[in-house]
Amino acid sequence: MSITDYALDGVRGLTAYETGRPVEEIAREFGVQRISKLASNENPLGCSPQADAALRAGLDWARYPDGGGYALKAALSAHHGGFDTAGITLGNGSNDVLELLARCFLAPGRNAVASAHAFAVYALATQACGATLREVPALGPDSTQPRGHDLAGFAAHIDADTRLVFVANPNNPTGTWAEPAAIEALLQQIPEHCLLVLDEAYREYQRPEERPPVEDWLARYPNLVVTRTFSKAYGLASLRIGYALSSPEVADLLNRIRQPFNTNAAAQRAALAALADTDFLARSVAVNAQGMAQLEAGLGGMGLHCLPSRANFVCVDMGEPGRPLFEALLRQGVIVRPVGGYGLPNFLRISIGTAEENTHCLEALATVRGG
C-alpha cells in the first residue's frame, strides 16, 4: 500500500484538468516564434484599459484584501438591478464558487447531475467530495443543438440524493446553449433538496435577447444559483475572479467555508473597473462575433463542421482523432485544445482569436491536414 491508496476513492479516480499549453513552453519546445494561443477561451484583446490602469495605480500589497469585497459587491449589485449584496459570493474565479457549492452540498452517498460533454470542473468538484456525478446523455446529431444539454432529460436523473444540478449555458467545450424556456421548465421541476447551478461563464457572448432573465428567476426560484466570471469577455483570466448570485441563505453557507481572503485586492479592483468599461466589453463581443464568422467560414471551406456556438470558441468535428492534429498544430505555433477527455475524441476546441490569430490557425490547419 502507498499513501495514495488512502486518498478518497473519488479523488483517486480523477484525471487532472488539462489546461492550455503556455506560450513560453511551446516556444521553448518547438522553437517557433509566431504563436497563437487559442486554447483557453481567453479574450484576445486583453483586458479593459481602465482595468489595466486601475491595476497600475498600485495597491498596498502588504495588506490583506477586503475579505468581504464590499466595493465590488456594491458594483455587482447595481449591475444586477439592485440585487441583494447578501446573495453575492465572490470567488477566486467562478471555479472557486463551483467548488464551494460542491463542498457545501456534496458528500459520499450524494450526487450531482450534469450533461455529457459538460464543463469538466463539475465532475472534478463532485468527485473530490466523494459524491458521484450522474451524466445525462447529450442531444443527438439530428438535434438543432447536437451534443448540447438535453434539459428535458435532466429530471429523470435527479433523485432523493441529488443536491446539485449543473447547467452550463453556453457550455464549454461544445459552445451549445439552452433556450431560457427550457431552463425555466427545469427550474420548475427542481426538488426542494436540490440546487440548480446555472453557469453563465460565456453569457456576455449571447445576444441580449438570448440571455435568460436570471435576476427575475433568482427572485422567484430560491433553489437557483447563477455563476459568472470576469475571465472571458472581461479579459481578467489571470487575476481569478468570478461570483455567484443566489439566495442570501445559500450565500451564507458558501461564505462559511470559503477562505477568508479568497479573492485578492488586485482582482477586486480590476473587476470593479472592468464592470464600468462597457465600451471594452462591447468591442470584445463584436471582435468575437467577427472572429467566429471568420473561423466558421474558413473551417467550412475545408469541409469541417463546427457545433453551433454562442461562446468565444468553436468545437470542430475534425472527422479524425483530434490529438495528433493538436500536436501537429503546436509545431506550427497554434495552440488549440483536444477534447477527447470530454468524450469528443474527433473534435478540437478552438478559441476565437484576433483576425490575425484566426488566419494563422486556418493556415496551420490547412498545412497539417494537407501534409
Ligand X SMILES: Cc1ncc(COP(=O)(O)O)c(C=O)c1O
88-96, 144-152, 257-265, 361-369 -> range binding ligand X (CB under 6 A): 88-96
- Which 178-207 residues touch ligand X, going by CB under 6 A? 199, 201
The phi, psi pair for 243, rounded to 5°, reads: -160, 165
Other Cβ atoms closer than 10 A to 219:
14
First to last CA, the chain: 48
Instruction: Choose, by CB under 6 A, the member of 21, 38, 41, 89 that binds ligand X.
Output: 41
- Which 217-236 residues touch ligand X, going by CB under 6 A? 229, 231
Query: DSSP labels for 48-76?
Result: -HHHHHHHHT---TTSPP-TT-HHHHHHH
Report the residue number, 314 or 362, with the smaller CB distance to ligand X. 314
Report the residue number, 235 or 291, with the smaller CB distance to ligand X. 235
Q: Is 263 in the site for ligand X (CB under 6 A)?
A: no
Helices (H), the chain: 9-12, 23-30, 49-56, 70-79, 94-105, 121-128, 151-154, 180-189, 214-220, 248-257, 265-276, 278-301, 322-331, 355-370
172 near 41, Cβ under 8 Å? Answer: yes
Helices (H), 156-277: 180-189, 214-220, 248-257, 265-276
Q: Is 93 in the site for ligand X (CB under 6 A)?
A: yes
Query: Min. distance of Cβ 122 from ligand X in angstroms?
Result: 9
Computed from CA positions of residues 100, 180, 193, 114, in that sequence, does the dihedral angle turn out positive or negative? Answer: negative
Q: Is 43 in the site for ligand X (CB under 6 A)?
A: no
Q: Is 119 in the site for ligand X (CB under 6 A)?
A: yes
Residues sharing a CB contact under 8 Å with residue 129, sequence separation 6 or more, in sequence order = 10, 102, 103, 106, 107, 108, 110
Q: Is 116 in the site for ligand X (CB under 6 A)?
A: no
281 near 321, Cβ under 8 Å? Answer: no
Q: Is 342 in the site for ligand X (CB under 6 A)?
A: no
Query: Min. distance of Cβ 50 from ligand X in angstroms?
Result: 20
Q: Is 69 in the site for ligand X (CB under 6 A)?
A: no
Q: Is 148 in the site for ligand X (CB under 6 A)?
A: no
Q: Is 237 in the site for ligand X (CB under 6 A)?
A: yes
Query: Cell digits for 98?
Result: 463551483
Report the residue number, 114 or 362, with the smaller CB distance to ligand X. 114
Report the residue number, 55 or 328, with the smaller CB distance to ligand X. 55
Task: State the number of binding residues for ligand X (CB under 6 A).
Answer: 13
Query: Min. distance of Cβ 368 from ligand X in angstroms?
Result: 25
Query: Min. distance of Cβ 365 from ligand X in angstroms?
Result: 23
Residue 194, Cα to own-chain centre: how many angstroms? 22
Kindly list the residues in this chain that would bind ligand X in the complex (CB under 6 A): 41, 93-95, 119, 168, 172, 199, 201, 229, 231, 237, 242
